[in-house]
Structure 1
Amino acid sequence: MPSLRVVFAGTPEFAESHLAALLKSDHQVVGVYTQPDRPAGRGRKLTPSPVKRLALEHELPVYQPQSLKDPAAQAELAALDADIMVVVAYGLLLPQAVLDTPRLGCINVHASLLPRWRGAAPIQRAIEAGDAASGVTIMQMDAGLDTGDMLLELKTPITEQTTGGLLHDRLAEDGAKALIETLDALAGDGLTATPQPVEGVTYAAKLSKAEAELDFRQAASTLAQKIRAFNPWPVAWCALGDERLRLYMARAEARASESPSVHVEADRVAPGTLLPHGGDHLRIACGDDGREVLCVSHVQLPGGKLLPVSALLNAHPPRLAPGSRLGSPLIQQEESS
């Protein structure tokens, strides 16, 4: 099988696993593009990306242009004489001049089953939306946002135990395998590109810390999906008095009956009220009428470590006693107004 000269473009850990697989393949990495070093940590020290660190370990040439629209940067890329450019979570737009530079063009590894979840955060948005499956798609890049023709697709299930972190790691592994399979095929007899379906397009907006606060007026299933999707970042949270309780793992439970130990008025409990605990989880009333139950198994108390709820309940923290109420005072004021 002939070997391809590959330029790799990527930045975060998800991309690093793909570069690692590429370095173990028969193909030759002739250059690595990644985002400029960014300030990180308490000292705000300039820190290289995971992709840059791996590239330097293997003594590969590294390029960090602010933009690929610069003619000088485009000439630098052309001088590498690559057969193909592989793009994985790079973070810069590729102008048409760059897309046309390699002999076989540019391909992208995208962490969703296109055309669903084009955009910045496909892994988390799939879990948050309650999708039954996710996957990776290798596509031939064009000038649009994740709109190129599909070359290869791998599918994986999403279950009630799937978190953003777990799906990230699984798709990083699957994507690396799919990438090598794609490159091997392109180096040989080639692959048939399939246009993306016109229907079913959704966009995965970038995650923000601002959307991580939970509103217990929402359905239990919606909240559970959000908690799992935002684990390990930005981490779902709710107010616990004047502090924050972070929630990492949850599922929805059908509300069977009320307990006399919790105040009930006309079969209604205020959303955010802690119900009698389960053996290893907190039970939180939610939904517009408080009749749904969110079961939370892993939390982080203010100033503490991430722990299974079973470990916390053994200590009987008074702030988590049944009848206590979680959630923003502003939301509670909205309910009573």
Structure 2
Amino acid sequence: MVVTQPDRPGHRLKLTPPAVKVAAGELGLPVFQPERIREPSAVERLRAAAPELIVVVAYGQIIPRSILELPPNGVLNVHASLLPRWRGAAPVAHAILAGDEFTGVTIMQMDEQLDHGPVLAKLLVETIAQLESLDPREQDHAQATLAPKLSREAGELEWGLPADEIDRRVRAFQPWPGVTLPWQGERVKVLRGRVEGDRYVPEVVQAPGGRPRVVDGR
């Protein structure tokens, strides 16, 4: 069974299914789309499915204890950072913002705290195949950093920021919330640019209501 978010309005408010639902349909897998995973009816639906193992990837909701306790082999989480660095909803963006030279993916056992459980640190397919023989390692919680949800305001920048910080934010905040900067008398979205010495040079910008256009310079 594939459990995913309900269909949501997308382009031009057209109701759009999650990509994993489309893939599941192509594979002939049953799909369950509860509005809230912690609702008793959702928990009972999963209990009736009697899963041996649950794998969570970017689900977007906190998994309650009532579900964590269902599968005899536990619940695995695929998290897009090298835990304990960047626990939270936006690990990739925060790794770019911090200028991390490298990052990765962690396979971990879920507990009730945020990205807190023991690390298995294997590729997902290998982890499932070798689950009974793996020795989970506790995270070094003292080294944990957080990657909270991004806000629209975080992308509203000014030219006084260091060039490398502007560059990291432009790359980290694609596609959302995006970065805006003052440009030729208006505030435009910067889609791409480069650092030249101590200044940031936009290359592709988009004015409100307009289309992306190539520019060069500030």
Q: TM-score, normalised by structure 2?
A: 0.90
Kindly state the Cα deviation for residue 69 of structure 1 after the two structures are TM-superposed.
2.5
Q: 1:50 aligns with which of 9, 14, 19?
A: 19
Kindly state the Cα deviation for residue 300 of structure 1 after the two structures are TM-superposed.
2.2
The answer for the alignment partner of 1:65 in structure 2 is 34
For the residue of structure 1 that corresponds to 2:136, the secondary structure is coil
The answer for the alignment partner of 2:4 in structure 1 is 34
User: Structure 1 unaligned runs (5+)?
Assistant: 1-30, 154-177, 255-291, 314-319, 321-325, 327-337
Distance change in 2, residues 1:230/1:70 (3 Å): closer
8 Å contact from structure 2 (residues 96, 171) kept in 1: yes
8 Å contact from structure 1 (residues 127, 229) kept in 2: yes
> Does the alignment pair 1:182 with 2:88?
no
> What is the aligned residue count?
216
> Does the alignment pair 1:300 with 2:196?
no
Kindly state the Cα deviation for residue 144 of structure 1 after the two structures are TM-superposed.
0.4
8 Å contact from structure 1 (residues 228, 250) kept in 2: no
Kindly state the Cα deviation for residue 247 of structure 1 after the two structures are TM-superposed.
2.3
Identity %: 43
Query: 1:306-321 alignment to 2 at 5 Å?
Result: 306-307=213-214, 312=215
**Cα deviations by residue, 1:77-104 (Å, 9 ceiling, x for unpaired):** 1221221000000112111110010110
**Cα deviations by residue, 1:144-191 (Å, 9 ceiling, x for unpaired):** 0110100015xxxxxxxxxxxxxxxxxxxxxxxx211211112xx521
Kindly state the Cα deviation for residue 129 of structure 1 after the two structures are TM-superposed.
1.0
CA distance in 1, matches of 2:145, 2:103: 13
For the residue of structure 2 that corresponds to 1:150, the secondary structure is coil
The amino acid across from 2:212 in the alignment is K
Kindly state the Cα deviation for residue 204 of structure 1 after the two structures are TM-superposed.
0.8
**Cα deviations by residue, 1:200-234 (Å, 9 ceiling, x for unpaired):** 21111212322212222111221111112123333
The answer for the alignment partner of 1:211 in structure 2 is 154
The answer for the alignment partner of 1:109 in structure 2 is 78
**Cα deviations by residue, 1:48-100 (Å, 9 ceiling, x for unpaired):** 11111111222211111122323332221122122100000011211111001
User: Structure 2 unaligned runs (5+)?
Assistant: none
8 Å contact from structure 1 (residues 245, 299) kept in 2: no
The amino acid across from 1:213 in the alignment is E
For the residue of structure 2 that corresponds to 1:119, the secondary structure is coil
For the residue of structure 1 that corresponds to 2:129, the secondary structure is helix
8 Å contact from structure 2 (residues 43, 66) kept in 1: yes
Kindly state the Cα deviation for residue 122 of structure 1 after the two structures are TM-superposed.
0.3
The answer for the alignment partner of 1:201 in structure 2 is 144
8 Å contact from structure 2 (residues 190, 206) kept in 1: no
CA distance in 2, matches of 1:56, 1:123: 28
The answer for the alignment partner of 1:173 in structure 2 is none
**Cα deviations by residue, 1:245-284 (Å, 9 ceiling, x for unpaired):** 3323344443xxxxxxxxxxxxxxxxxxxxxxxxxxxxxx
CA distance in 1, matches of 2:60, 2:160: 36
The amino acid across from 1:40 in the alignment is G
> Does the alignment pair 1:96 with 2:65?
yes
Query: 1:112-191 alignment to 2 at 5 Å?
Result: 112-152=81-121, 178-186=123-131, 189-191=132-134
**Which structure has the larger Rg over C-alpha atoms?**
1
The ranges of structure 1 where at least 4 consecutive aligned residues each deviate by more than 6 angstroms after the TM superposition are none
For the residue of structure 2 that corresponds to 1:294, the secondary structure is strand
CA distance in 1, matches of 2:178, 2:164: 17
The answer for the alignment partner of 1:16 in structure 2 is none
Kindly state the Cα deviation for residue 305 of structure 1 after the two structures are TM-superposed.
2.8
| RMSD between aligned residues | 1.9
Q: TM-score, normalised by structure 1?
A: 0.60
